[in-house]
């Protein structure tokens, strides 16, 4: 989770930036840096590791000035190191940039710029941004215009903040998509900019949030906002509640809403540092798995509870299909009492957001007793499920506060996808071209998730239609059968509406008797290998007078005409379709619960981590 802090005003920027970055530490990072304009020159200090190392660097080599920007980085492209840490200077040394997000097309941009003589000092995708800004600055555009033109070249979701020593009276900030927010804080004769509220709340409660495709010219006196197309945008200043909990929610009403919308950034971070996109290789050193050890594995048990178990069901399809390894998914509360057939050639893989779920920990202990190799996929850093495993893949999603898991559902699916590719490569069941294709698909995911989030208006409309229903049926098949289970769980646990996820093929064996006009049926039918079967499911439900809501891939005219309503999904590689298919269902559950005026973040009877049996 990258963090950004900027300041312009009468005070020394350095301590303000460092303290702001400290307040963003909860988001996780592996390097940090800052840049300040000092006596007309840009001074940069940056290093791998924690902020304490940066503070030591600044003590040894002080820098001071009244305008500056800082950054905490979670590596996506280029290992965590000083040279890859932000801020990034261009070749003239007169422009400096910090960036959140992934420049999807950075390879071609880097090649084009190199052909024009640009030299790069890092392995990051972000560095192309400062070179593009300098390119337009050379054409006498001014920093704001140069930044606007540079951003037009970028694909993906971004938060960008730039400075120039030639225009020391301003900071430029811009946001594209959902790769993290950009918030501007208005003080007395001073202005702040950050990726999250906690970084600036100690200085001011008057803030404005940039929307996607907006850019701000920030000065001591305040800020002017325009769209990236150049249209002026009236500034909407909010007064934020002082309490830090409210601050952490940023522009959202609930943590769950924020965490749903964080999935572009959290998915970026889940992938961060684990994939060499250029060479098409997955690296999971946390498992310290050799090819020989990988070939010895005879079976994997995936064990978890609730949402984590649904992610495990997706993992079964992925690992069996990609690594050709048998996988059994067992609910942890069953596994622990089933005297499971486990031996040293078995891996037991536990999945847990909190890492403290009693049933899951007990299942891990049972596996340990039986001599299995124990892996885990966990979000909460330092939790038991992280510590007791032989190898743990962190979800790297940042804190999940809402009781209903959202980003901690999509993150383990991506972890399982990377694990499947890693196992396939080590076991020799995955040829290099297929492996490279699978990794190229993975790179699309944060942007595809962002496209799903951009379609929330359609979901809100459907939520108003369904908010008073008493029942709802979710049908899925194959890799999206777990999507049905997870979609139903989201609805029932926060809106208290009875919802059931079901394998679509099972409908004719009984549940189809349930269908009538008072039983909305959500049919998950993206373009995947089970599409034709799911399409006929829509027809079967309609034939019985059911209200069918189709979840379909863009431009699917068949579903559009067959279903009563359709929620559209961007075309997604089918093995990753559970990641995009769940997002509209997360939003649907959220908006129905919010419309019903319920406590979305703390639903009745539920706890964020069930640490008792």
* Separation of alpha carbons 342 and 371, rounded Å: 7
Q: Which residues contact 541 (CB under 8 A, 6 or more apart)?
A: 475, 507, 512, 515, 521, 523, 548
Q: What are residue 423's phi and psi, to 5 degrees?
A: -65, -40
Is 249 designated active site? no
Which one from 149, 155, 370, 608 is the annotated catalytic residue? 608
469 versus 609: smaller Cβ distance to ligand AGP: 609
- In the complex, the smallest distance separating the C-beta of residue 537 from ligand AGP, rounded to whole angstroms, is 25
Whose Cβ is closer to ligand AGP: residue 278's or residue 334's?
334
* Six-digit token string for 127: 């560095």
How far is C-alpha 113 from the geometric centre of its chain's CA atoms?
29
Helices (H), 370-431: 384-387, 407-427
In the shown chain, the binding pattern of residues 259 to 298 toward ligand AGP, with x for contact by CB under 6 A and - for none, equals ----------------------------------------
State the nearest-atom distance from the C-beta of 193 to ligand AGP, in Å: 34
Which residue stretch of 33-41, 68-76, 350-358, 523-531 sits at the interface with ligand AGP (rule: CB under 6 A)?
350-358
410 binding ligand AGP? (CB under 6 A): no
- 542 CB-contact burial (10 Å; exposed 0-12 / middle 13-18 / buried 19+): middle
In the complex with ligand AGP, the residue whose CB is nearer, 305 or 559, is: 305
Cα gap 403→141, rounded to integer Å: 48
Residue with tokens 């202005």: 191
Minimum distance of ligand AGP from residue 74's CB (angstroms): 21
Residue 404 contacts ligand AGP per CB under 6 A: yes
Which among 297, 303, 319, 268 has a CA at the least distance from the CA of 389? 303
Structure-token pair, residue 209 = 């949030």
Closest to ligand AGP by CB, 379 vs 572, is: 379
Binders of ligand AGP in range 561-590 (CB under 6 A): none
596 burial (CB, 10 Å; 0-12 / 13-18 / 19+) is middle
Q: Closer to ligand AGP at the Cβ: 165 or 379?
A: 379
Q: Which one of 2, 305, 392, 452 is the catalytic residue?
A: 2
Q: How far is the CB of 2 from ligand AGP (least distance, A)?
A: 25
Minimum gap (Å) between residue 476 Cβ and ligand AGP: 17
Instruction: Count residues binding ligand AGP (CB under 6 A).
Output: 15
Q: x/- contact string, 1-40, with ligand AGP (CB under 6 A)?
A: ----------------------------------------
Q: Cβ 379 to ligand AGP, closest distance in Å? A: 8
Burial of 404 (0-12, 13-18, 19+ CB in 10 A): buried
Smallest distance, ligand AGP to C-beta of residue 403, A:
5
Asked if 308 interacts with ligand AGP (CB under 6 A), we say: yes
Stretch 486-545 residues interacting with ligand AGP (CB under 6 A): 493
CB 503 within 8 A of CB 477: yes
DSSP designation for 418: H
Please confirm, yes or no, whether 2 is among the known catalytic residues. yes
Beta carbon nearer to ligand AGP, 28 or 306: 306
Listed in sequence order, the residues at least 6 apart from 453 whose beta carbon sits closer than 8 Å to its beta carbon are: 178, 260, 261, 263, 264, 583, 587
Residues 6+ apart with CB under 8 A from 261: 178, 252, 453
Least Å distance, CB 93 to ligand AGP, is 48
C-alpha to C-alpha distance for 563 and 488, rounded to whole angstroms: 19
Residue facing ligand AGP at closest CB distance: 306
Which position among 281, 362, 388, 610 is part of the footprint of ligand AGP (CB under 6 A)?
Answer: 610
| Identity of the residue, 193 or 332, whose beta carbon is nearer to ligand AGP in the bound complex | 332
- The interaxial angle of helices 577-595 and 481-495, nearest 10 deg, is 20
40: CB partners within 8 A, 6+ apart: 165, 168
Tell me what percent of the chain is helix, strand and coil, each rounded to the nearest 5. 40, 25, 35
Q: Which of residues 353-382 bind ligand AGP (CB under 6 A)?
A: 353-354, 357, 360
Q: CA 522 to CA 519: how far, in whole Å?
A: 10
Interface with ligand AGP by CB under 6 A: which range of 159-167, 305-313, 339-347, 504-512?
305-313
Q: Which of 89, 207, 305, 466 binds ligand AGP (CB under 6 A)?
A: 305
Q: Which two tokens stand for residue 362?
A: 């007990």
Q: What is the DSSP string of 111-157?
A: HHHHHTT----SS-STHHHHHHHHHHHTTT--HHHHHHHHHTT--S-
Query: Within 48-77, which residues bind ligand AGP (CB under 6 A)?
Result: none
Q: Which is nearer to ligand AGP, 38 or 352 (CB)?
A: 352
CB-nearer residue toward ligand AGP: 9 or 603: 603
> What whole-number distance in Å separates Cα of residue 503 and Cα of residue 129?
47
Please, what is the minimum distance in Å from the beta carbon of residue 309 to ligand AGP?
A: 8
b vs e for 191-230, b when ≥16 Cβ sit within 10 Å of the residue's Cβ? bbbbbbbbbbbbbbbebbbbebebbbbbbbebbebbebee
- Rounded Cα distance between 566 and 553, Å, is 10
Is 405 an interacting residue with respect to ligand AGP (CB under 6 A)?
A: yes
Q: Could you give the CA distance from residue 149 to residue 143 in angstroms, rounded to a whole number?
A: 10
In the complex, the smallest distance separating the C-beta of residue 252 from ligand AGP, rounded to whole angstroms, is 17
Of 9, 65, 280, 306, the residue at the interface with ligand AGP (CB under 6 A) is: 306
Residue whose CB is less far from ligand AGP, 266 or 360: 360
How far apart CA 41 and CA 590 sit, in angstroms, is 49
Rounded to the nearest whole angstrom, what is the least distance from the CB of residue 362 to ligand AGP in the complex? 12
CB-nearer residue toward ligand AGP: 227 or 609: 609
Active site residues: 2, 608
Residues that bind ligand AGP (CB under 6 A): 305-308, 352-354, 357, 360, 403-405, 493, 609-610
């Amino acid at each position: 989770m990258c963090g950004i802090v900027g300041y312009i005003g009468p005070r020394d920027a350095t301590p303000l930036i460092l303290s702001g970055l400290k307040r963003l530490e909860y988001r996780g990072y592996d390097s940090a840096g800052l840049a300040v304009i000092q006596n007309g020159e840009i001074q940069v200090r940056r290093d791998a590791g924690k902020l304490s190392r940066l503070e030591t660097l600044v003590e040894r080599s002080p820098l001071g000035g009244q305008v500056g920007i800082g950054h905490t980085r979670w590596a996506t492209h280029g290992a965590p190191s000083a040279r890859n840490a932000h801020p990034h200077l261009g070749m003239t040394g007169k422009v400096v940039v910090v960036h959140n997000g992934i420049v999807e097309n950075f390879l071609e941009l880097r090649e084009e710029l190199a052909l024009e003589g640009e030299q790069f000092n890092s392995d990051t995708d972000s560095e192309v941004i400062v070179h593009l800004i300098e390119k337009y600055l050379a054409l006498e555009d001014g920093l704001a215009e140069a930044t606007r033109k540079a951003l037009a070249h970028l694909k993906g979701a971004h938060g960008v903040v730039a400075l120039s020593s030639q225009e020391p009276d301003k900071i430029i900030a811009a946001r594209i998509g959902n790769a993290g927010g950009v918030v501007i804080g208005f003080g007395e004769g001073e202005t702040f900019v950050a990726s999250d509220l906690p970084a600036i709340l100690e200085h001011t409660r008057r803030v404005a949030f940039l929307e996607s495709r907006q850019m701000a010219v920030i000065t001591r006196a305040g800020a002017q906002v325009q769209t990236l197309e150049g249209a002026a945008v009236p500034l909407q200043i909010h007064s934020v509640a002082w309490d830090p909990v409210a601050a952490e929610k940023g522009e959202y009403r609930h943590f769950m809403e924020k965490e749903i919308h964080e999935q572009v950034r959290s998915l970026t971070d889940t992938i961060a540092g684990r994939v060499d996109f250029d060479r098409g290789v997955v690296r999971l050193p946390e498992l310290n798995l050799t090819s020989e050890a990988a070939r010895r594995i005879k079976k994997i048990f995936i064990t978890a509870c609730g949402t984590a178990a649904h992610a495990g069901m997706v993992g079964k399809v992925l690992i069996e299909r990609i690594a050709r390894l048998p996988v059994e998914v067992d609910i942890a509360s069953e596994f622990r009492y089933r005297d499971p057939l486990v031996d040293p050639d078995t891996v037991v893989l536990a999945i847990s957001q909190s890492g403290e779920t009693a049933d899951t920990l007990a299942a891990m202990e049972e596996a340990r007793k039986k001599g299995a190799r124990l892996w885990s996929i966990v979000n909460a850093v330092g939790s038991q499920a992280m510590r007791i495993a032989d190898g743990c893949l962190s979800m790297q999603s940042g804190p999940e506060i809402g009781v209903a898991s959202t980003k901690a559902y999509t993150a383990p699916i991506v972890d399982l996808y990377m694990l499947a590719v890693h196992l396939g490569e080590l076991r020799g069941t995955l040829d290099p071209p297929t492996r490279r294709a699978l990794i190229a698909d993975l790179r699309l995911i944060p942007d595809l998730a962002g496209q799903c989030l951009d379609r929330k208006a359609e979901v809100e409309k459907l939520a108003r239609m369904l908010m008073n229903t008493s029942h709802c049926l979710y049908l899925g098949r194959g890799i999206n059968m777990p999507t049905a289970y997870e979609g139903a769980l989201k609805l029932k646990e926060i809106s208290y509406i009875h919802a059931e996820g079901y394998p679509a093929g099972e409908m004719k064996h009984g549940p189809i008797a349930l269908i009538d006009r008072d039983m909305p049926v959500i049919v998950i039918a993206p373009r995947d290998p089970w599409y034709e079967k799911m399409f006929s499911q829509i027809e079967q439900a309609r034939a019985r007078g059911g209200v069918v809501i189709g979840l379909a891939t863009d431009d699917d005219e068949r579903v559009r005409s067959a279903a009563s309503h359709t929620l559209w999904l961007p075309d997604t590689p089918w093995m990753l379709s559970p990641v995009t298919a769940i997002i509209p269902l997360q939003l649907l559950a959220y908006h129905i619960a919010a419309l019903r005026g319920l406590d979305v973040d703390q639903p009745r009877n539920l706890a964020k981590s069930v640490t008792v049996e």
